[in-house]
Structure 1
Amino acid sequence: MVDWSGGNDRGAVPKADAIWAGVARGETVEDPVYLRNRKIAEDWIGAFLEDELAAGRRVLAGFDFPFGYPTGFCAALTGQGDPLALWDWFAEQIDDAPDANNRFDLAGQINRDLVGGKGPFWANGLKRDVPGLPRRKDGYVNPFPERRLAEGQAKGAFTCWQMAGAGAVGSQVFMGLPVLSRLRRRFDAAVWPFEPLSAPIAIVEIWPSLTVGPAPSGTIKDAWQVAEIARQVAALSAETLTQILDVNAPEEGWIFGLGFERLLRGTPAPLRNDCFALPTGVHWTPVDEAMELLRSRLSPVTGQETVDTADALGRISAATSFARRANPPLPNTAVDGYGFAGGRPAGAQVLPLVQGRAAAGDAPGAVPAGQAIRVLTGAALPAGVDTVILQEDVTVRAGAIHFQGPIKAGANTRKAGEDVVAGAEILQAGRRMAAADLALLTATGVSQVRVRKRLKVGVLSTGDELVDAGQKAAPGQIFDANRPMLLAMIRQFGHVPIDLGRVGDDADALRARLDSAANKVDAIVTSGGASAGDEDHVSAVLDAAGAMALWRIAIKPGRPLALGMWQGVPVFGLPGNPVAAMVCTLIFARPALGLLAGADWEEPQGFDVPAAFDKRKKAGRREYLRARIRAGRAEVFASEGSGRISGLSWAEGLVELPEAAMQVSAGDVVRFIPFGSFGT
């Protein structure tokens, strides 16, 4: 993918408004290449295409300037309707050197020949006047449409008639089409959408600003954009690519991806309104079945972005990452000692030492056969060295090392790539990145990673009985404990918590709050009002919107879980009792929100431990008891009441008891899930 320039040579130091090329092969995106002028750019692109053809690869080459003009211009100028004839015309007319070109003079000539010097081109960027080319749009006459159809659909795109000034693409067209004309003929390339893309090299028109967002701080926008659009296009499936290429624009040309911006950005499709619907006749849903329904019906709702690897802790990878460099990149020594070639048999050994040493960071030199060199841990092995003996096993005297064999060939060394080879898959999409992942990525040369944007989760409390802490509570009112708890849990899950406040038992107020939240968040978690009573407004409002399912789950504590969609945003309606709200969040909302955020389904890790309690359990519901580990046994909180918040603070995790009836006695094995396994 190439960001073009219509100006003169930009100098040796990389600059904006120059020519930049971005290359992606599969999911490997190379660093953008700075090309200071068009001569260098054409030579580089030609050599690149030759190498790709020699390797048997196909190339989709994108250039960021219009491939054609509005309807009628081509025939008026060349006498033909073929836009590729226009390419050849420009190739014959343009004189181009790194420090000067005739683009403004040619624009003036076209104006004089077509409309008496008053258009269609305007904006003279030279200090001298150019006959027929006005400096401004004053007295402008244009017998052709002002924009192509593509520019009319692409918001923010500029007209190709403007030759100079901010946003001008006219000069890029003048100076780019001759290059494309030569490349097309040299490589017998196919040009989209004018020709079928049956050749190994296809040339398409791109506009990076169509799908690429702002560049990260400290980077050159043009360089960032070509690398990013290359990554976006390389990530497309064959089916999606075919869909994007199905365009009929035989004269004007078209911008690749126009109308398919969401697919290029990798923005997920919205969830269906019926994604929470339960099968007909289902009244009580077992826990495992409820989780499988969520797992099968939910998908990511977050977009993607690229971040520096150093800033990726806790982020969810959006694409598979591949090693750009082997680890270790070269054979090296694992110890301090002396290196030489080959093993040595038993008995006394003497090897003369070469001058110098090999230390970590040194460029590897060479050691003649039969000689040794001093090496330090981590040093790349010089040529002629494949074995290292520990310094403790060596005596140095008279410029030679003395030691007793045997020693095996390859001893105390690490092979290049013995940890990771270049090109190997090192991180899969959907992984929540840990500190060790950042070390692996960095060690293998991956300085930036593609991640999911953080999921924004709104938290809303409902109920007339609630007041915020610090306010005066009237008789019958309680402080809202759920909202601070849920906001904190959302943050611990790695998402962005958005405080939506609280609303009373008022359906209109609830609808207004949900309307406001839908434009700010990716998912909503509510507490209270999730059952089917007179004041359960969350379930009633979602039901009236036509996108709600009241899941009666066979779980204790908990049971009612209102799941629905509000203006395309998934809503998780939790029970109002704090213990039930927390348990339902851990068991259901946490993995579901993870899927929406682009993560894999996250199962908590449990441990079989002896019970320190007795309990008789009825059949029918899976139960979660607040628990902690003491002396290697699971203790449970004295009360199972859903309002006993002190038990949540007391506990270190949950004991999970299955749906079947059972008698638990002290010493029996039970499953304990620490809160840490839930990410809290």
Structure 2
Amino acid sequence: MSDCGCDAVTDCLKPLEEALTLLLSHAKAVGETETVSLAEANGRVLAESVVSQINMPPWDNSAMDGYAVNTADVPAVGTKLVVSQRIPAGAAPIPLAAGTAARIFTGAPVPPNANAVVIQEVCEQAGESVIISEVVAPGANIRLAGEDTQIGQEVLQTGTRLGAQHIGLAASVGVGELKVYRRLKVALFSSGDELINPGQPLGPGQIYNSNEYTMQALLQALGCELVSLGIVEDTFDATCAALTSAAAQADLVMTSGGVSVGEEDHLKPAVEKLGSLDMWKIAIRPGKPLAFGHIQGTPFIGTPGNPVSLFVTFLLFARPFILKSQGVNEAMVVPTPLLAKADFDWPKAEKRREFARAQLNLDDQGQAQISLFSSRSSGVLNSLTWANGLAILPEQQTLARGEMVQFLPFSELLK
């Protein structure tokens, strides 16, 4: 046992929940706001709640194509009524004359004196009249004014990350502009003398810098403004200079690689010199060496250099941190896992919680099942294109085929 009470294998790794709580406690929403049109609002975070100034629908309207009637005029099947008016959507009807019906279409205002709509499928035209083959109750097939939204009702809350449904709702109550938080500015760079950008020929010992482009895409999907410092030389001085420059330009500094304990891994000592390192190792696989701290007051997240580890730690930790920093309500920054049966055995209990690349599919009986990628290596980037999510395999547990497993779909994590 070590002095911190952990054994040599776990090496005082921080549990996932504790690590995430620590990160989120340091995530502060940007204070500045701007007003944007609905066309520019997708993906932005609402900084001021939206209150409806109208009822929706604004008036009683027909839910179906048919005939508007007063139910007192339809006492029995086979009642015949003169059609006194025709009401398409967008028309302004006149009061319904007693003993008549009005031809009406979906969405059209129900005329005064009418209290029901009879669907056209149970009606038969007879010259200037209609024969009604069904007795209906008052209120049938009518959408009442204010049924969806009422004047003064809060329809969108501050902290909502806006999607098509939110923008459509704002438009439906007549709001043309929304106050949103400004975009989070993130500065990023990669560490490694072996790295070279795609499009150039590889030299001896070189690899392409996939991490830079993976992280850029992940940040762009979250609506961040990017400041890219490219590839930084593997020296302590160069790392310090890059961190200082990044912290001065952005709300958050992110890096890939250089957070382990090798002689050429300079990020950890550089962050400690320039500010503080609040977290370093987490009890998960892949992605143990995740660094979090501050550089001259600017938050810093250092992801591992292995591409799968970068991807997984970004989704589990950086994404919630960024969402909260953008102003999203904290309760909405971590997705709820799905449950499905395992199409595999997990016979060895591991010390760290595993986030395995996995596919969620339907078996022959139409039930959801989870299959794992064939390799656990954190360097196999094509495993992420094969997978459609991450299976959560708890620490200190075994699993047998058919048992229920938690699953985080990429469809929830990559937006």
- Pairwise same-fold verdict (TM > 0.5): yes
User: Could you say what secondary structure the match of 1:442 adopts?
Assistant: helix
Say if 2:381 is the partner of 1:671. no
Say if 2:178 is the partner of 1:449. yes
- Residue of structure 2 equivalent to 1:183: none
Q: Supply the distance in 1 between the matched residues of 2:31 and 2:224 (Cα, whole angstroms).
A: 11
CA deviations over 1:54-92 (Å, ceiling 9, x no partner)? xxxxxxxxxxxxxxxxxxxxxxxxxxxxxxxxxxxxxxx
Paired residue total: 399
- Residue of structure 2 equivalent to 1:111: none
Q: How far has the Cα of 1:431 moved from its partner? A: 1.6
CA deviations over 1:418-474 (Å, ceiling 9, x no partner)? 111122121112222221222211111121111122222222101222222233444
**1:337 aligned residue (66, 69, 80):** 66
User: Could you say what secondary structure the match of 1:615 adopts?
Assistant: coil
**1:555 aligned residue (284, 289, 301):** 284
The AA in structure 2 aligned to 1:366 is P
Q: How far has the Cα of 1:576 moved from its partner? A: 1.3
Query: Which ranges in structure 1 are unaligned for 5 or more consecutive residues?
Result: 1-279
Q: Which has the higher contact order (CA 8 A, sep 6+)?
A: 2
Does the 8 Å contact 1:530/1:539 carry over to 2? yes
Query: Residues 335 and 612 of structure 1: is their aligned pair in 2 closer, same or farther, counting only changes over 3 Å?
Result: closer
Q: How far has the Cα of 1:591 moved from its partner? A: 0.7
Does the 8 Å contact 2:240/2:274 carry over to 1? no
Does the 8 Å contact 1:487/1:498 carry over to 2? no
Q: Supply the distance in 1 between the matched residues of 2:342 and 2:136 (Cα, whole angstroms).
A: 55
Q: Supply the distance in 2 between the matched residues of 1:643 and 1:347 (Cα, whole angstroms).
A: 73
Q: How far has the Cα of 1:394 moved from its partner? A: 3.1
The AA in structure 2 aligned to 1:675 is F
- Residue of structure 2 equivalent to 1:438: 167
Query: Residues 351 and 573 of structure 1: is their aligned pair in 2 closer, same or farther, counting only changes over 3 Å?
Result: same
The AA in structure 2 aligned to 1:345 is P
**1:530 aligned residue (256, 259, 265):** 259
Say if 2:241 is the partner of 1:512. yes
CA deviations over 1:481-506 (Å, ceiling 9, x no partner)? 21111111112233233322010112
Aligned residues with identical type, % of pairs? 39
Q: Supply the distance in 1 between the matched residues of 2:158 and 2:96 (Cα, whole angstroms).
A: 44
The AA in structure 2 aligned to 1:676 is S
| Bigger Rg over Cα | 1
CA deviations over 1:120-140 (Å, ceiling 9, x no partner)? xxxxxxxxxxxxxxxxxxxxx
**1:600 aligned residue (308, 325, 329):** 329
Q: Supply the distance in 1 between the matched residues of 2:180 and 2:398 (Cα, whole angstroms).
A: 47
Q: Supply the distance in 1 between the matched residues of 2:226 and 2:400 (Cα, whole angstroms).
A: 41
Counting only pairs closer than 5 Å after superposition, residues 249-648 of structure 1 correspond to structure 2 as 283-301=12-30, 303-343=32-72, 344-354=74-84, 356-397=85-126, 399-404=128-133, 406-601=135-330, 602-630=333-361, 631=363, 632-648=368-384
The AA in structure 1 aligned to 2:298 is V
User: Could you say what secondary structure the match of 1:284 adopts?
Assistant: coil
User: Could you say what secondary structure the match of 1:547 adopts?
Assistant: strand
Counting only pairs closer than 5 Å after superposition, residues 131-280 of structure 1 correspond to structure 2 as none
More helix by share: 1
Q: Supply the distance in 2 between the matched residues of 1:281 and 1:457 (Cα, whole angstroms).
A: 37
Moved more, 445-454 or 628-637: 628-637
User: Could you say what secondary structure the match of 2:280 adopts?
Assistant: strand
* Superposition TM-score, scaled by structure 2 size: 0.88
Q: Supply the distance in 2 between the matched residues of 1:481 and 1:347 (Cα, whole angstroms).
A: 72
Q: Supply the distance in 2 between the matched residues of 1:366 and 1:591 (Cα, whole angstroms).
A: 56
Query: Residues 617 and 596 of structure 1: is their aligned pair in 2 closer, same or farther, counting only changes over 3 Å?
Result: farther
User: Could you say what secondary structure the match of 2:75 adopts?
Assistant: strand
- Residue of structure 2 equivalent to 1:122: none
Q: How far has the Cα of 1:596 moved from its partner? A: 0.8
User: Could you say what secondary structure the match of 1:449 adopts?
Assistant: strand
CA deviations over 1:215-273 (Å, ceiling 9, x no partner)? xxxxxxxxxxxxxxxxxxxxxxxxxxxxxxxxxxxxxxxxxxxxxxxxxxxxxxxxxxx
Q: Supply the distance in 2 between the matched residues of 1:425 and 1:457 (Cα, whole angstroms).
A: 32
Does the 8 Å contact 1:345/1:407 carry over to 2? no
Query: Which ranges in structure 2 are unaligned for 5 or more consecutive residues?
Result: 7-11
Does the 8 Å contact 1:542/1:548 carry over to 2? yes
CA deviations over 1:630-673 (Å, ceiling 9, x no partner)? 544322222222222232233222111112x2222333322222
Q: Supply the distance in 2 between the matched residues of 1:400 and 1:628 (Cα, whole angstroms).
A: 60
Q: How far has the Cα of 1:320 moved from its partner? A: 1.6
